[in-house]
Structure 1
Amino acid sequence: MQNKAKKPHVLIFPFPGQGHINPMLQFAKRLHSKGVKVTMVPTVFLSKSSFFDSSASIDLCIISDGFDEGGFEQADTPDAYLSTFWNVGPKSLAALIKKLGHTAHPVDALVYDTMLPWALDVAKQFGISSVAFFTQSCAVNSVYYHVYKGHLQLPLRGSHVSLPAMPPLHVSELPSFVAIYGLYRAWFDVLVDQFSNIDEADWVFFNHFYELEPQVVDWMSKFWNVITVGPTIPSIYLDKRLENDKDYGMNMFKPNVTACMSWLSGKPKDSVVYVSFGSVASLGIEQMEEIAWALKDRNGYFLWVVRETEKPKLPHNYVKETSHKGLVVTWCPQLEVLSHESVGCFLTHCGFNSTLEALSLGVPMLALPQWTDQCTNAKYIEDVWRIGIRARPDEKGIVRKETIIRCIMELLMEVGKKGEEIKKNSIKWKNLAKKAVDEGGKSDKNVDEFIAKLI
């Protein structure tokens, strides 16, 4: 009885990548706002190299991934990183939970990134509640589940795939690790192995809201205790219940906040094309040039995030020659940018976090997917949610500048009628996203029910 009178204590354990940290950190903030004691568990290197907002009132306890000085970049190959992390991580996590067990706040539940399935085994070892947290969509994970179960035999034969509760998918619309079997074997194995022990998890959480994928959520709920808890983006952009919650609070890259927001101010409403390919995707030189020439030749406003490592791929003297209409930065405060009234469309790689952010803020998308889950997300953006256009590549796999210009003009409603429909749908999904996390909304109720089970 004395223990139950205390706040429940939840560990949040993300895979050490920006796209995994952000939604799980945001979920941690929501739990904290509801009276739960929350501890984030980053790796040693991540805790030293990231910009963490201490005002979030989230405790940090670090563990080792075996690469304390350099993280993923310290490893020679993805295989080397993953095998070492999989060996060192369980021992480090177990030691942390054991240590916390001797404090006034022993751990009641572990919310772990599904890319770290061994964390579930550690939770079972200590008899604490376990929550599998997916940072990709239900549709994408449904594909991996069918591969795990052997329902999708690889390499694939034929041009289309039909799966329960999903629209027919062309092979090119599947996650690239499945569509191009064998090319990314280390990551393929990690994503398929998410399901190796998931039947033992007490809950399975998804970072989106029910209306986004109702058929797949219902289908998955036949096997697991599925709960939608999203979209997990800072409160100021949706329910506004968490004071000063304007950013995720942890960045692996430092954004050019002042430069971006000052430049956007004064630009006409819906006039700016925002371009970003996230924290990982790396475009080929030819594709970078096609995007560059499209933005320049269209002669409209654009804000383009080009990471430092990608800058050498820009045409010579490009930044200077386009400075009258464009701004090129190495990183930006994406949520602030997407919520700015001057932004009319988002040219995106379709990472799920970026997709959810644009959808939740009502920004139409020009989809130019690169790899992993992005092709499936692009399919849903255009054909299911109808909030954007896919930019189609040519026979060489390159999206040409003419295609990019035409798609931008459609989205900004400069030509055709498609842009009007997409804008209306974007506003609809924006309202549904807000409704899900508002007090009493479905995602909000789901979080309350989870907390109640811990008390």
Structure 2
Amino acid sequence: MANTNQPTTDSHVAVLAFPYGSHAPPLLAVTRRLASASPTTLFSFFNTARSNSSLFPSDLPSNIRVHDVADCDPEGHVFSRRPQEAVELFLVAAPEIFRKAIASAVSDVGKKVTCILTDAFLWFASDMAAEMKAKWVVFWAGGQNSMSVHLYTDLIRDAVCVNEVDGRMEETLGFISGMEKIRVKDTPEDVVFGNLDSVFSDTLYRMGLALPRADAVFLNSFEELDNTLTNNLKSELKRCLNIGPFALFSSVSQSDTPVHDPHGCLAWIKKQGTASVAYLSFGTVATPPPGELVAIAEGLESSKVPFVWSLKEKNIAQLPKGFLERTRELGMVVPWAPQLELLKHEAMGVFVTHCGWNSVLESVSEGVPMICRPFFGDHRLNGRAVEAVWEIGVTIVDGVFTRDGFEKCLNQVLVQDDGKKMKGKAKKLREQAHQAVSAKGTSFENFKELLDVVVSTLN
């Protein structure tokens, strides 16, 4: 798939997406912003057909060409139930597949690549950029905290000692400035625990080594969220540019676009009291196991807290018998909800989340406290930051939903004085986030610097 309207270009940017999780959509959003700001630059966006089909790029600027690449599943391969298998197959095959796709695009447009803009996981693009005498610009899909962990992996492994990690999970990473409240057990798998010999672990490790070679690394965050970690990253990287929260930029650009709300969530929330509603969503990948889904439902029903629960259709059948009927007046369970618009509403009181970075930052951007149930990756880091660093939420006890534990968390955030303090701190972060994306704000200025790096050619 490639859109064929081709402008006269000053430079040619190859954008390489990581097609899993929630990595590709924000990278495309930034590509759109860059393309709109530099209409004479050609952007070639490379992603798997499966991922591209979910991005709905029908209204892209004319200077973005979208290219499908293979999904790297070997013909006849029978997948096991190991979640990372497809990701690892892609990572092994990706360097050659992207090289061929870029060469084909260059041949088609007759314009050599001047910049390779990639997801951070695609660390091998550093070598590709050097071969092409192009710049390498990197998008990190998480926050300052998770990037720091991967940059300092060797330091963490030396300090903790991988062979002794089981007995040191409660220790903190105080030897890294800004991570004094982060514990070893909060770090992602593949840093000091998990299968450190896996393809994915090796990818993360090589990525951490490669990032300092990038001409710029940009994040969906804002400097004021964590000044100490931001300054550390600036000392390790050529350019570290926080250009978010992306949701605040997109909400401005789409202010005249009708909100997609097929299940009437926004009409429902308008009838609720201020800061009274719990919104529950665990992202596109994670879902609590059946026993926890039951515990969540029982906690909502017994607490009588109004709620909107975004839950995949296949999981709705796992809720307790009669739950939907008994709570029809109390809340709603829907297969999809307009998350950002719900978080913006004054009736929103708490976001029950898996702590994926995009969701956390959207909640921060709208000043909504959180109840955290992390699953994998950077979820634990983000949940720890919510609870112990920013103090704008709580984490479920022992990381598992129980009816009583969930009720206690809802009461703590929505009713008790602790919750009022969380709301106050969340409101302050919201103000800082909105200031960052305003004219002359840090994210606004950083985006201008990113644009200059991406579209200017090497001497």
TM above 0.5: yes
The aligned counterpart of 1:373 is 378
Stretch moving more, 122-131 or 9-18: 9-18
Specify the alignment match of 1:402 in structure 2. 404
Equivalent position to 2:22, from 15, 19, 24: 19
Root-mean-square deviation (CA, aligned residues, Å) is: 2.9
Cα distance, 1:191 vs. partner? Answer: 2.6
Deviations 1:295-354 (A, max 9, x none): 111112111111134334322232222212121112222112211222211011111110
Residue number in structure 2 paired with 1:160 = 171
In structure 1, how many angstroms separate the alpha carbons of the residues matched to 2:59 and 2:436? 26
Quote how far apart the aligned CAs of 1:16 are. Answer: 0.8
Q: What aligned pairs does 1:385-396 form with structure 2 within 5 A after superposition?
A: 385-393=390-398
Rounded to whole Å, the distance in 2 between the matches of 1:105 and 1:437 is 33
Give the % identical residues. 26
Q: Given the alignment of the two structures, is residue 206 of structure 1 paired with residue 210 of structure 2, yes or no?
A: no
2:31 corresponds to which residue? 28
Could you say if the C-alpha distance between residues 23 and 51 of structure 1 is closer, same or farther in structure 2, counting changes exceeding 3 Å?
closer
Note if contact 2:248-2:437 (Cα within 8 Å) is conserved in structure 1: no
Matches within 5 A, 1:336-351: 336-351=341-356
Whether 2:389 is the aligned partner of 1:384: answer yes
For the residues of structure 1 that align with 2:48 and 2:176, how far apart are their CA atoms?
Answer: 37
* Inter-CA distance 80–236: structure 2 relative to 1 (3 Å threshold): closer
1:397-422 deviation per Cα after TM superposition (whole angstroms, max 9, x unaligned): 5332222222222322x2x3112221
Match of 2:296 in 1: 291
Aligned counterparts of 1:73 and 1:25: Cα–Cα separation in 2: 31
Instruction: After TM superposition, give the deviation of residue 59 of structure 1 in Å.
Output: 3.4
CA offset digits 1:131-173 (Å, max 9, x no partner): 1211112212222333245434324142303231112333332
Q: Residue 287 of structure 1: SS of its match in structure 2?
A: helix
Equivalent position to 2:148, from 142, 148, 151: 142
Matched residue type, 1:144: H
Q: Secondary structure at the match of 2:295?
A: helix
- Kindly provide the amino acid, as one letter, of the partner of residue 194 in structure 1: M
| CA shift for structure 1 position 52 | 0.8
SS in structure 2 opposite 1:62? strand
- Correspondence 1:111 to 2:124: no
Task: Within 5 Å, give how 1:415-430 maps onto structure 2.
Answer: 416-430=416-430
Q: Are residues 278 and 65 of structure 1, via their aligned partners in 2, closer, same or farther at CA, if it must alter by over 3 Å?
A: same
Runs of at least 5 residues in structure 1 that lack an aligned partner in the other structure: 248-254
Distance, in Å, in 2 between the alignment partners of 1:178 and 1:88 is: 23
* Structure 1 residue 113: Cα displacement: 0.9
Residues 113 and 132, structure 2, Cα contact 8 Å, conserved in 1: no
Secondary structure in structure 1 of the residue aligned to 2:68: coil
For 2:426, what is the secondary structure of its paired residue?
helix
CA contact 1:131–1:202 (8 Å) conserved in 2: yes
The runs of at least 4 aligned residues of structure 1 exceeding 4 Å deviation read 72-80, 176-180, 183-186, 241-247
**Deviation for aligned residue 1:177:** 4.3
* 1:68 CA displacement: 9.6
1:236 positional shift: 5.0
Q: Distance in 2 between matches of 1:427 and 1:114?
A: 31
Q: Deviations over 1:249-297 (max 9, x none)?
A: xxxxxx8634322332322222211001111113122222211111111
**TM-score after normalising by structure 2:** 0.85
Task: Confirm or deny: 8 A CA contact 1:160 1:168 kept in the other structure.
Answer: no
Unaligned runs of at least 5 residues, structure 2: 1-7
CA distance 1:79–1:449, change in 2 (3 Å): closer
In 2, distance between residues paired with 1:366 and 1:349? 9
What amino acid sits opposite 1:357 in the alignment? Answer: E
Aligned equivalent of 2:4? none
State how far apart, in whole Å, the 1-side matches of 2:323 and 2:78 are: 29
Q: Which of these residues, 185, 188, 195, is aligned with residue 182 of structure 1?
A: 195
CA distance in 1, matches of 2:241, 2:55: 30
The residue aligned with 1:250 is none
What are the superposed Cα offsets for residues 154-213 of structure 1, whole Å, 9 maximum, x if unpaired? 241423032311123333322244464239945433333322422322112222111112
1:227 aligns with 241
Q: Under a length normalisation based on structure 1, what TM-score does the superposition of the two structures give?
A: 0.86
Shift of the alpha carbon at 1:371?
2.1
**1:252 paired residue number:** none
1:325 to 330, 334, 353: 330
Deviations 1:349-368 (A, max 9, x none): 11111000000111111122
Q: Do the aligned residues in 2 keep the contact of 1:12 with 1:112 (CA within 8 Å)?
A: yes
- State whether structure 2 residue 126 is matched by structure 1 residue 120: yes
What is the identity, as a one-letter code, of the residue corresponding to 2:228? Q
Say whether the 8 Å CA contact 1:256–1:330 is kept in structure 2.
Answer: no
Deviation, structure 1 residue 383:
1.8
- Preserved contact between residue 228 and residue 443 of structure 1 (Cα < 8 Å): yes
| Partner SS for 1:344 | strand
Aligned twin of 1:94:
99
Cα separation, partners in 2 of 1:445 and 1:75, compared to 1, 3 Å: farther
Moved more, 323-332 or 104-113: 104-113
Distance 1:99 1:117, change over 3 A: same
